[in-house]
Structure formats: C-alpha cells, structure tokens
Amino acid sequence: MVSFLKEAEELFEEYKDYAPSHREICEIIENKEFLTKEDLAKLLNVSSKEDIMLMAKKAQKLTRENFGKVILLYAPLYIANYCQNGCVYCGFSSRKNYKREKLSFEEIENELRKMKEEGIDSVIILTGEDRINSSFEYIEKACSIATNYMSEVSIEVYPLFEEEYRKLSNIGVVGITVYQETYQREDYDKLHPFGPKKDFEFRLNAPERALKAGFHEACIGPLLGLSEPKKDVLCAILHAEYLLDKFPKAEISISFPRFRSAGTEFIPPYTVSDKEFIKFLIIARLYLPRVGIVVSTRERPSLRDALIDVCITKMSAGSKTTVGGYAEEKDEDAEAQFEVEDRRSVSEVVDVIIKKGLRPEFTNWVKGVKSV
C-alpha cells in the first residue's frame, strides 16, 4: 500500500529543483495523452503565470470532455463534534475547552428536512473523531435516516473497519471523504500527538477499505500548509492513481483544502498562495483527467467561481459547519471547526453555475443500486 508514498518521495527528491522550460511544458501538455510521473513532478515546479494559464486551458478541455457541463453539488451535515484526538491545528481538538454537542436522531431529521427545503439533495455526514460519543451505530443510524431524505449520502467520519463500511454501503451510503492531513509520516506524527488518529496507516488505508466494501466514491487529499505542499500534492495525486488502479470502477476525487485558522495558536509551517493552489488543482486534472476535483467553502467565492470554469467537478453549497446549524441560527465563526469563506446560499451558487453555462446537479448515483 505505501509503495506509492516511497515513489512520490523519490520523485520529489529527484525533481524538486527542476524548472521545466516553456518548451518542455508545451511538449508535455500538447503531445501527450497521459502524463508520466516524471512530467507530473516537473510540472509542480512551474512558476510562470503564462505557463500556468496554458496548463489551465488544457485542464479545462479535459474537464469538459470527461465530465461535460455539469457541476455536482452537496452540503455537509455536522452531527457531532466530540473528538478524542489532539491534532495541534484543530479547534475541535479534545484539548480545547469547547462546547461539545451531538444531535439526537430527531434533530438530525430536522436538519435534513431544513436542508431539503433549501434544495439540497446530496449530503455528507460529519462527526469529530470519537468512537465513544459518536459510536458506529450512531453514525449508521444517522446515515440510514439521511438516505430517506437525500438522493446521495456520503460520510466524513473517523476511519472505520471494512465490515463497518460494508454495513454503510448496504444501507446506501455511496461515498467517503478522508483527508490524510499530511502524507509525511514524521510531520504527521508531530501534528497528532495523541488519540486514535495517530495511526497513520489505518487512516491512509481507509478509502481502500471503503471501496473494497462497496463504496462508489472516495475523496482524498492533504490539508495544505501542514507539511511541504508540493510533496503532499504529489503524494495525494499518486494516492488517487493507486486507488484508481486498484478499484478501476470507483470514482476518485481529490481536494486540496488550505489550512485556515481554527481558534488555535497554531501557525502552519507553510502557506500556499492562490497561484500555487490553482496550479496544484490544474496539475491533478492534467495527470488524472477523470478524477473528480472538489473545492471547499474554505476558499472565497471569487476563487471558487473562477475554478468552476477550469477543473472543479463537485462543490459544496449553502454549507453550515456548526452542529445543528441548518435548523437553528448559529454563530458560524464562533463555533465552526474552520473559517468558512463562501457563505453563499444554495440558490446563489446555483445561479453562478448556470450563468457560466453549466448545469448544477445533486444526483450522481441512483439510489438503491447497492441493495441487489
């Protein structure tokens, strides 16, 4: 499993100071149907605006050919924020004196109803990472309620065992999102001083277990800023490729959330500029033309809108990132896990998509296929 990490490491070392010429960049993007791993490592170092724009053009063409003029929409539903971990960068960390909440099943239904009223039809259910306060059974029940309301249900919870994923798959959950935070083991270790999340490999293997258990989709990625960004991006892209090779029929998505402050004093060792961030997404598209690309509400509206034209295939809309935030007005800034930049309603996001000549869509998978 971790062979791709070693490969990424070696590639990164070999090409980290390699600046491809304009000509070489043109060669790579114009003449090749599929980029090699070396091309990928080289393109990560591109810095001229003109070259990035050139790459963006190709990325746009690939996105339209493979995904058509469609943008999938979804919204997160935070059902609990208990957490056993001590991730040094997170406002939900168990070290924080923080008001813990967990929705009852009735409250979950209320939230879903409210979301539905706003026109949301695809949901991702989130909890903090706490097997005691948010037990598997709790998550399972929440998912099963959600499948009654939504066309599509995914999860972003602590890594589960394969059997547990199978149970969720059987009730109709189709997707998993699990961010590795960083692919660099040493940094990972320091950033996660205690708690079950310390187990790097159990987390790394989570998407694989879920896909094996029958999930259709997996979304992966690093949290940019925690470790050397180019290296993390390279690892994530090769991780996506590894999953595609192993589960050729699955839909793999990638996302590169950038670190945002979250009520901690933690200062990330790296900052990623807009230019670098955009370049990373474009490169992911160039290397993996059929991989989904997700951009979160951590990014500001103007940037998200610009990326819709180029490489995004899926985005959240109308997100509330507090527990119980849909049914009840809450102060998002005070309570959320991270800062949300794009607070537009679903209608507003839908309008932007339509204005760009694209079709917003909530449904990617037909319900009930799994219950064969």
Partner 1 sequence: MFEIGGKKLKSRLFVGTGKLPDYSLIEKMYYEAGIEVFAVAVRRIGPNTKHTKNVLEYIPKGATIMVNTSGAQDHKEAVKIAMIGRELTDSDWVKVEIEKDTKYLFPDSFETLKACEILVKEGFKVFPYIYPDLNLAKELEQIGVEAVMPLGSPIGTNKGIGCEVLLKPIINEIKIPVIIDAGIGRPSHAAQAMEMGADAVLINTAIATSADPLKMAIAFAKAVEAGRLAFEVGLLKEYEYAQASSPLEDFISG
Binding site for partner 1 (CB under 8 A): 64-70, 73, 116-121, 151, 216, 244, 248-252, 290, 346-347, 350, 354, 357-366, 368-369, 372
Residues 67-86 that bind ligand SF4 (CB under 6 A): 83, 85
Instruction: Give the Cα separation of 262 and 339 in Å (integer).
Output: 7
- Residue number with CB closer to partner 1 (49 or 249): 249
Residues forming beta bridges with residue 124, ordered by sequence position: 76, 154
Residues forming beta bridges with residue 71, ordered by sequence position: 360
Tokens of 280: 């990373």
Mind giving me the DSSP string for 61-73?
HHHHHHH-SEEEE
Nearest distance from C-beta of residue 149 to ligand SF4, angstroms: 25
User: How many residues lie near ligand SF4 (CB under 6 A)?
Assistant: 9
334 interface partner picked from partner 1, ligand SF4, none, CB below 5 to 8 A per type: none
The alpha-helical segments, DSSP class H, found in the chain are 3-15, 22-31, 37-43, 49-67, 105-117, 136-149, 162-170, 185-191, 200-204, 206-212, 229-246, 274-287, 301-308, 332-335, 346-355
Nearest distance from C-beta of residue 282 to ligand SF4, angstroms: 27
- Residue number with CB closer to ligand SF4 (85 or 151): 85
* Burial environment of residue 2 by CB neighbours within 10 A (0 to 12, 13 to 18, 19 or more): middle
Number of alpha helices (DSSP H) and beta strands (DSSP E) in the chain: 15, 9
346 interface partner picked from ligand SF4, partner 1, none, CB below 5 to 8 A per type: partner 1
- Residue number with CB closer to partner 1 (151 or 321): 151
DSSP assigned state of 102? B
- Residue number with CB closer to ligand SF4 (87 or 124): 87
Tokens of 187: 């940094």
53 interface partner picked from partner 1, ligand SF4, none, CB below 5 to 8 A per type: none
- Residue number with CB closer to ligand SF4 (172 or 222): 222
Residues 90-109 that bind ligand SF4 (CB under 6 A): 90, 92-93
Q: Interface with ligand SF4 by CB under 6 A: which residues?
A: 83, 85, 87, 90, 92-93, 128-129, 197
